Structure 1
Amino acid sequence: MTLTVLSDHQVQSILEGLTADRLIDFSSVLSAALHQYSTNSQPGPDGPYQQPRRIKTFHHATQATSLYMPSCGPEGMGCKSSFSIGCEDAQDSNEGSKAIAPVGVLNLFSPAGEPVGLIHAKTLTAFRTALASLCLVMRRRKFERILVFGAGTQAYWHLRLALMVRGTSVRKVYVSNRNFTGAASLLRRLAALPDEVKQREGWSGTEFAVITPSFHDFERLLNDYVFNADIIYCCTPSREQLFDGGVLTSHDGRRKGRLIIAVGSLTPDMRELPHGLLVQATKKHDSATRRHFHKHADHGGVVIVDSLDGALHEAGEIVAANIQPTQLVELGELVMLRQIDNQESESETESTPATPRTQSDTPDEMPATSLSSPASSRPPSPSRGKHDSRTSSSTSLGRLPFRKSASSSTIPSHKSHQHGHAAKDETALSRWLRDGTVIYKSVGLGMMDLVVGNELMKLAEERDIGTRIPDF
């Protein structure tokens, strides 16, 4: 068996060379795997994906923290090992400092247990996290202003993928960082991309700006950026909230829907999102509230997470806000909604006359792949055993304010008398994901590394990139 080794520079080279179409294909593969993981009715060794909790060790002499993330799936087995000094997490720091930036490797094995790949984990980790976030990003209608907290690799790849697939819609990007040096480095990296790439992706005229605590009137400026943002990326290992939640939970703040993605904090003592924002997002809204005289953006009543078990044990914001399993829904449960785009198109065709649209108020035309799973055609799995910490994720869809009951099916039934209700539910869910206030919290999954790592190996072979060791 041949072992392929990919350095971080080689990983970057492969990923920077992706076109928007190839990126969407990449996203579809991860979406299918997340769907299998979240809707599996046989957790544990009988499921298609086995995802143990991560293991942490601490070296007292060097102060190095190590994280081990094993996983097993149809692609084979994998284990990512990440090491950091002076930083408890496995993500890039807000400072982007090399002194504490984590390093690591992903080991890949065939289903038979033969070693097939060794991949540097820095860029891989950031890319696979951003790729999962992209499933929600591509659903959004309004995408003109982006605010990103942090300036490390996670921040770069979240911005990079957003610009790659929605660049023609993005007008302004604001970077909030603890120091100007890190933020400037991020912007220089984006600016260094070839002009032909920027023009092809449609963001050559996008404005970029930096804000740091040293700026005069920092709090007012930050509040303005938060208020006006359509997408907010939180990519820092912060131990306190990054912005004033009252900006978004106020009467005026709730008029507009936003997509808020938090990927930087992954231990119980870390915080990125304000407590009040999570409470508001998971509040149960009755019909009277939804018919309030002052129109507010839709709230789903849940927080979207990559892993229910991981969020409940490792996401500091979720733990501190005492968010219950019934107030969480896994991303993999949403990627199965294959018919959302078709229903949207049919609904808009029937109810809205054709009118000219401008690029400034309409998102790019995207294929119906962002929340669809090409590998699946089955309905949601029945609830898992009561001792499984992921049991509540399936029923949490039923707790959305537009669900009539917890037993409502996500996919329309073949029975004609049920089709109308299911279609309405799915259309309402589509509206929420497209225009409402959506919060996504990710702590990372080893199976994401496994899936993306294997796809990366295929791309490396196609382009003849990497070091190959035969008969390893």
Structure 2
Amino acid sequence: MPLTVLSDANIKSLLQDLTHDDLITFQKSLRSALHEYSTGTQDEGCCALHQPKRTALTSGNGTTTLFMPSASSGGIGMKVVTLATPGSEKASAGQTCPQGALTLMDTSGTPFGFLNAEEVTAFRTALASSLLVARRRTVKTLTVYGAGKQAFWHVRLALLLRGSTIKTVNFINRTFSDRARDLLKGFYAIDMKIKESEGWATTKFGILTPGYGEFSRLEKDHLRAADIIFTTTPSTDPLFDHTILTNTEGRKKGRLIIAIGSYKPNMIELPTELLTQATKVHGSGHHFHKHAEEGGVVVVDTLDACLKEAGEIIQSGLSPQQLVEIGELVMLQDEPQSSSSSLDLSDSPIESFSKLDLQPENGGKSLAHVFRENSMESARTGSTSTGATSSGSRSVSRKSSFSGSHSRSGSFLGLGKKSGSVFSNSSKEKAQTSEEDKMSRWLCHGNVIYKSVGMGLMDLIVGADLVRLANEKGVGVTIDSF
């Protein structure tokens, strides 16, 4: 098998020329892998049971090296990256991008890819986030904390997916640094023909720093106006005052909040009050103030790692029952969209979300409680028929998670292996569809928080697609007999 070697320049070239169709192909591969990770049995290669734990080594020179192994039905991956610790000399000098390499092997252990990991890491994280971005009904304003590669790729993929509806992109950074200027230049430098074809030729970009006199007011305005908020910094303090989004006015608008910057227990980007609000189970009855629907959960990329490494999750004291993996959601049916114009709904939160008031129907139960009951019922009635055994279980936290079962096959919404005993009753099928529809509406319209710390599986899947694309385009160096 030939070995394809891709330098940082090779990967940047491939990604800069990425088309909408290419992105959809990449999304399809990652969506399938994440779904298999969260819901698959031990017979499936991407299943969480087959993913080794990553290891972190902290050195005396202010760096952290991560060893991230992964496995799938198609191969094996190993990424090694070194990151500068916030506050260290390297971080102060702006050297915060992960440095390292990704090695890809087939199932026999034969190497077929060796990739520089710098651009891959940012792109694959943004690609996973884009699975949620693609579901949002209204995407007009983006607010982004940070000015690095993660910030660039999260915005770039959002523009590639939803450029025709995005009117404003607001960056918020500590200083108007060279990196911040380069970030803006990166978007301005994209060919006008590409911007026009993707629909964002007239989109406005701006950057706000604390040095500006009206920073507090403008930050509040940017956050309140945002349909999607990206936070991409290794901060050790919350980036903004929680009341901006948790008080009555802040809760009127539904937002997707994607936090990917923190990766240690002492790091935190989002205020804990925001996560507490998102996971609160509201009582029955009518509220005087209308607000966007809360799902009662925080979405994460990997349950186990986020419980151990994500500062927002740890410091908020969230339990496994208050988390759901993105892989358990990505196969939900999208809400029907008749045309591109349907994406631009009214910004009125009262009109937009009155349809999603589940309280009268469900007796005050949150979406989390409704779906947990459903999946636990599936586990009780279907664990035998789906082949669930104690040997298929994972950690205690995994057993007590949203799935409510000892196997990933009876997961969150029963989207894994649907056994006949679970779905034989037509009324249960209707109830299942109803709950899935409610979750789809929440993902499209409601307040959704997604926390990611990254997974080696993402690198493996995205890396393999990059090698495929490179071979199709003749990019990189190929060694026939390695």
TM (normalized to structure 1)?
Answer: 0.85
Are residue 257 (structure 1) and residue 254 (structure 2) matched? Answer: yes
SS in structure 2 at match of 1:395: coil
Which structure 1 residue ranges, 5 or more long, are not aligned? Answer: 350-354, 364-378, 398-405
Aligned partner of 1:390 in structure 2 is: 398
Partners of 1:261 and 1:356 in 2: CA distance: 24
Does the aligned pair in 1 maintain the 2:44–2:73 contact within 8 Å?
no
Aligned partner of 1:6 in structure 2 is: 6
Does the aligned pair in 2 maintain the 1:147–1:233 contact within 8 Å?
yes
Shift of 1:68: 0.6
Aligned partner of 1:164 in structure 2 is: 160
Shift of 1:46: 10
Does the aligned pair in 2 maintain the 1:333–1:394 contact within 8 Å?
no
Partners of 1:161 and 1:45 in 2: CA distance: 28
Partners of 2:341 and 2:44 in 1: CA distance: 49
Partners of 2:115 and 2:413 in 1: CA distance: 43
* CA shift in 2, pair 1:249/1:362, >3 Å: closer
Are residue 70 (structure 1) and residue 69 (structure 2) matched? Answer: yes
Kindly report which structure 2 residues correspond to 1:131-146, keeping only aligned pairs within 5 A, or say none. 131-146=127-142
Are residue 40 (structure 1) and residue 40 (structure 2) matched? Answer: yes
Amino acid corresponding to residue 399 of structure 2 in structure 1: T
Shift of 1:284: 1.2
Aligned partner of 1:457 in structure 2 is: 467
Does the aligned pair in 2 maintain the 1:43–1:50 contact within 8 Å?
no
Amino acid corresponding to residue 252 of structure 1 in structure 2: E
Partners of 1:442 and 1:389 in 2: CA distance: 17
Are residue 415 (structure 1) and residue 425 (structure 2) matched? Answer: yes
Partners of 2:188 and 2:227 in 1: CA distance: 22
Shift of 1:25: 1.7
Aligned partner of 2:243 in structure 1 is: 246
SS in structure 2 at match of 1:241: coil
Does the aligned pair in 1 maintain the 2:229–2:256 contact within 8 Å?
yes
Shift of 1:100: 4.0
Amino acid corresponding to residue 115 of structure 1 in structure 2: P
Are residue 104 (structure 1) and residue 103 (structure 2) matched? Answer: no
Shift of 1:294: 2.1
Q: Which of 217, 221, 224 is matched with 1:224 structurally?
A: 221
Does the aligned pair in 2 maintain the 1:168–1:359 contact within 8 Å?
no
* CA shift in 2, pair 1:206/1:239, >3 Å: same
Q: Which of 146, 149, 154 is matched with 1:150 structurally?
A: 146
Name the Cα RMSD after superposition: 2.9
Identify which range, 291-300 or 253-262, moves more after superposition.
Answer: 291-300
Kindly report which structure 2 residues correspond to 1:16-415, keeping only aligned pairs within 5 A, or say none. 16-42=16-42, 47=47, 50-60=50-60, 62-87=61-86, 98-181=94-177, 182-288=179-285, 291-337=286-332, 340-341=333-334, 344-345=335-336, 357=341, 360-361=344-345, 385=393, 387-395=395-403, 409=414, 413=423, 415=425
Shift of 1:184: 2.1
* CA shift in 2, pair 1:396/1:151, >3 Å: farther
Does the aligned pair in 2 maintain the 1:328–1:396 contact within 8 Å?
no
Which structure 2 residue ranges, 5 or more long, are not aligned? Answer: 348-377, 406-410
* CA shift in 2, pair 1:305/1:299, >3 Å: same
SS in structure 2 at match of 1:424: helix
* CA shift in 2, pair 1:38/1:296, >3 Å: same
Partners of 1:356 and 1:268 in 2: CA distance: 41
Does the aligned pair in 2 maintain the 1:75–1:451 contact within 8 Å?
no
Q: Which of 439, 442, 445 is matched with 1:435 structurally?
A: 445
Shift of 1:386: 6.7
Amino acid corresponding to residue 321 of structure 1 in structure 2: S
Does the aligned pair in 1 maintain the 2:45–2:74 contact within 8 Å?
no
Partners of 1:359 and 1:307 in 2: CA distance: 30
Partners of 2:403 and 2:141 in 1: CA distance: 34
Aligned residues: 431
Q: Deviations over 1:214-261 (max 9, x none)?
A: 010211110111111110000011111111111111011111110000
Partners of 2:341 and 2:479 in 1: CA distance: 54
Q: Deviations over 1:301-331 (max 9, x none)?
A: 0000000001000000100011000000000
Amino acid corresponding to residue 27 of structure 2 in structure 1: S
- Identity rate, percent: 44
* CA shift in 2, pair 1:297/1:86, >3 Å: closer
Shift of 1:40: 2.4
Shift of 1:183: 2.2
Partners of 1:155 and 1:302 in 2: CA distance: 25
Does the aligned pair in 1 maintain the 2:103–2:115 contact within 8 Å?
yes
Shift of 1:131: 0.5
Does the aligned pair in 1 maintain the 2:320–2:402 contact within 8 Å?
no
Does the aligned pair in 2 maintain the 1:149–1:177 contact within 8 Å?
yes
* CA shift in 2, pair 1:74/1:388, >3 Å: farther
SS in structure 2 at match of 1:254: coil
Shift of 1:86: 4.5
Shift of 1:205: 0.3
Identify which range, 34-43 or 238-247, moves more after superposition.
Answer: 34-43
